[in-house]
Amino acid sequence: MVRRLDMDKLQGIEQLFASGMSKRQIARTLGINRKSVDRHLAVKSSKGATNQEAPTGAATIPSDDSKGAKAPTGADASLSGEFAPKKKDPLVAQSRSECSRYREQIISKIEQGLTAQRIFQDLVAEHGFTSKYHSVRRYVATLTNCKELPVRRIEVEPGQEIQIDYGQGARCMDHNGKFRKTYLFRLVLSHSRKGYTEAVTRLTTESLIRSLENAFRALGGVPKIIVFDNAASAVKQADWYDPELNPKIIAFCKHYGCAFLPTRPRTPEHKGKVERGVDYVQENAIKGMTFESLSLQNQHLLHWEKNIADTRIHGTTKKHVGKQFAEVEKQTLGALRSEPFPFYDEGTRKVSRDGHIEVKGSFYSAPPEYLGCEVWVRWNDKIVRMLNFRQEQVAIHPRMEKGKFSTLAAHIAPSKISGIERGAQYLLQKVKLIGPNATRWADGAISERGVEAMRTIQGLLSLTGKYESSAIEHASDTAWRSGSFRYRTIKKLLEHGGAKQQTMEFMDEHPVIRPILEYGQFFKRALAGG
């Protein structure tokens, strides 16, 4: 059984079709099956009916109050007058919805990126809209389906931007005589469309940087912005608002004074100037070709770039590519650096308990506050750089031989530096705080015993934790007068109150005078032998 449509639906089909709307859009707008639209228009066409005629047998329902009607909400709104479409307009929703009154406001809100729910809420709040949310949702869907915004082409100032991309290169023979695939690095200056092409065998960060550097030198300058997609060689974490770049790419851009801007993920049109450029190289320069080596392919590409690509009139700019670059854009590029970007290895390292990291079997100190933390390390055959994760340098060391340590004095906590490490002058400065007698004794100890006296002086300083300075002064004066420069001498004088004595007559031991017991034994042996 074929279901008959209401009169308002039939009239709506005829008017919308006459305005240029497709059958699919008519069905979606009126909320009916597309086959019903096809059937009615076929009958209409076969009978030569006009917009005022209805198919034979169609139920006539003059009132919109019928519950059997399936028209969109607000079906009482007329299609005549200022809301009736006079010609095909992709922005006008050809329906009898009450939303048509607010077409301009709805279109404005769609362009702001608002949802149908938000538009419905605003219409209720701002205009007293009385129809249902579903009416707004259908109307918004109709507008967005009909509206086709033109692609916006953005041109930039000379020297402002380059776009880069990769594509499949021609096969090359390797050192074993086997043909291997290659990749094309393609760079296009966004203003003049001047290009640079290089064949590479790997898609690594190092390869990308070297290709960019070669391109800068071939162009004779550096652009302000590099536009690339979110390839792993350049971007660690893709994010349109805050992408995380590879640290080497960040360092490279600082070296040359440019910026690296990844495109929005899965949006190749953001670098549309180079997208077609890769196809152009593949189709025009290397199609059907193979090369005996990578260098021969790059020589061919260099010759092709100069004699073919640079001599063409570009289809968009309508200008000679080579002349536009030489006369307008080349002088606007930034200056090249005299030295190339320094290459290095890099990675994370954890600072161990002894305050060092390990790189290729050698050990390098880190600041004390990084103990137990991870740091970012870059190294080559000459230096080792240590950075935090904001890419700020926190230490730099000369490269050491395997098994060697490089420890910077600034990385040792003061409490971990012994007096011997600090040197004699440091110890003597501390002894001066005790008094002149202790200083005189310490000087004598160094003169008498040399390096061995360093620990003796440390022993003297340790006595300040138990005895007053005045007592140590007296003991030091007594020991100095007696020519004894040993720690145990000062200690015993302090223990036995010897600090008040001026001579050593009553001491049990003396470094010069032997104990009485030894003299007694000497006399016994002498008498026995005599």
**Confidence check: pLDDT of 59 > 50:** no
pLDDT digits (tens, 9 = 90+) for 361-383: 999 999 999 999 999 999 988 89
3-state secondary structure of 164: strand
pLDDT more than 90, % of the chain: 36
Residue entry with tokens 């290659």: 182
Distance CA 399, CA 380 (A): 8
**Amino acid found at 303:** H
User: What's the confidence (pLDDT) of residue 310?
Assistant: 94
Higher pLDDT, 62 or 164: 164
Number of CB atoms found within 10 A of residue 253's CB: 18
User: What's the confidence (pLDDT) of residue 418?
Assistant: 56
The pLDDT confidence band at residue 64, using thresholds 50, 70 and 90, is very low
Domains of the chain: 7-146 (no CATH), 161-332 (3.30.420.10), 345-416 (2.40.50), 419-500 (no CATH)
Tell me the pTM.
Answer: 0.48
10 Å CB burial of residue 201 (0-12, 13-18, 19+) is middle
Mean pLDDT over all residues of the chain?
81
Among 122-126, 290-294, 344-348, whose mean pLDDT is lowest? Answer: 344-348
User: What's the confidence (pLDDT) of residue 452?
Assistant: 78
Distance CA 64, CA 9 (A): 11
User: What's the confidence (pLDDT) of residue 517?
Assistant: 57
Angle among Cα 66, 70, 75 to the nearest 5 degrees reads 75
Higher pLDDT, 36 or 203: 203
Angle separating helix axes 453-462 and 487-495, nearest 10 degrees: 20
Query: Are β-strands 383-387 and 393-398 bridged in parallel, bridged antiparallel, or unpaired?
Result: antiparallel
Cα dihedral sign, 330-335-339-344? negative
User: What's the confidence (pLDDT) of residue 425?
Assistant: 78
**Confidence check: pLDDT of 96 > 70:** no
**Confidence check: pLDDT of 95 > 90:** no
**Cα–Cα nearest to 386, from 399, 377, 398, 374:** 377
**Cα–Cα nearest to 485, from 454, 437, 433, 442:** 442
Cα separations in angstroms, 509 against 44, 134, 489, 505, 512:
135, 109, 8, 10, 9
3-state secondary structure of 196: strand
The residues, ordered by sequence, that sit 6+ positions from 93 with a Cβ below 8 Å of its Cβ are 29, 99, 100, 103, 139, 142, 143, 146
Can you give the length of the chain in residues? 530
DSSP 192: T
User: What's the confidence (pLDDT) of residue 240?
Assistant: 84
pLDDT digits (tens, 9 = 90+) for 155-198: 889 999 999 999 999 999 988 889 999 999 999 999 999 999 99
H helices within 349-468, ranges in order?
419-422, 424-432, 436-449, 453-462
Task: Name the token pair of 283.
Answer: 């189709």
Number of CB atoms found within 10 A of residue 494's CB: 19
Angle separating helix axes 116-127 and 103-111, nearest 10 degrees: 140
pLDDT digits (tens, 9 = 90+) for 482-505: 888 888 888 888 988 744 444 444
Task: Name the token pair of 320.
Answer: 């000679």
The pLDDT confidence band at residue 91, using thresholds 50, 70 and 90, is very low
Higher pLDDT, 271 or 422: 271
pLDDT digits (tens, 9 = 90+) for 446-484: 888 777 788 888 888 889 888 988 899 989 988 888 888
Query: Residue 473, Cα to own-chain centre: how many angstroms?
Result: 64
